[in-house]
Amino acid sequence: MQVAVIGAGSWGTTVAHLCASNAPTTLWARREDVAAEVRDHHCNTAYLSGYQLTPSLHATASLEEAVGSADLLVMGVPSHGMRATAKKLSPYLRPWVPVVSLSKGLEQGTKLRMTQVLGQELPGRPVGLLTGPNLAKEILAGDAAASVIAMEDRSIANALQEVFATDLFRVYTNHDVIGCEVAGALKNVIAIASGMADGLGTGDNTRAAVITRGLAELTRLGCAMGGEPMTFAGLAGMGDLIATCISTQSRNRYVGEQLGKGRGIEEIIAEMSMVAEGVKTSRVVMELGRDHGVVLPIAESVYGVVHEGRRAADAYRGLLGRNMSSEMHGMPDA
């Protein structure tokens, strides 16, 4: 099986590294110098400085070269570039080739999930996603991790397990594409809230409350959109949420922490070399909440700080001032 991974950011590069241990793999980088470094020196210093990549991993800046002979296409570009990149490579991709998204975001304007975007631009191909609590540098360092390959066709998902899995990277299957995808997108918004709590100097009690109530929010929205409740208790939901909310490697948590310290969102984003998906996702999540009649107080607070200029301290005071209700209010079957 020939694997093409599109996008040479930290996670795209890491997934290509994993796949290259199991199958011939080509990583597409937008910049030729990045492709040359991966191909010739087996590293990607722009995103993963100090980490060595599998020597068998090939890299190119040509979409045609990367995609033309692919039996599996892995899309590792951010949500805002997903549609345009898929459109560019579509003439080179053969029919029926499975497509797997790595992006944990939602499309602005359309409010579509990434698998929906890929389904529109690459029709007639099975589409799914790889998601879970997966911090790129820890995986490259050799730490054990687990992930989920979510596809409606279970036979394809079972086959793809063998492509992504290694001795220390365990891959489970899940047929609930909607639930896995909504969880991956909304957890980035909750991670900004968790980071704001850290930046404000609150303690572990506050962090635990934000994570737990954040899990309730993504479960309510995910189920309203067609996801299955148990998905949100698994790797794609609770697992990914915990890792993103507490890790110092989390870009979204970092954004929240800086907001909690009083910095402006424009200044924070300008200094970052990688995308924090939760910033733009917070706007789409609020729109989806209104569409589905789901109340999302933590996401609403993040939206207020990121897009409306509210102070993080004021947002937290607003959360504490909400009316009290049952812990299971609004949850499926509650």
**Which residues are known catalytic residues?**
187
Instruction: State phi, psi for 168 to the nearest 5 degrees.
Output: -110, 5
- Strand partners of residue 4: 26, 73
Tokens of 203: 């303690």
Contact 2, 72 (CB under 8 A): yes
Three-class SS state of 100: strand
Torsion sign, CA atoms 77, 105, 308, 298: negative
| d(C-alpha 194, C-alpha 155), whole Å | 38
Element (DSSP H or E) covering residue 99: strand 99-101
- Residue found by looking up tokens 């009690």 in the block: 205
| d(C-alpha 45, C-alpha 169), whole Å | 23
Tokens of 206: 């506050």
Contact 274, 9 (CB under 8 A): yes
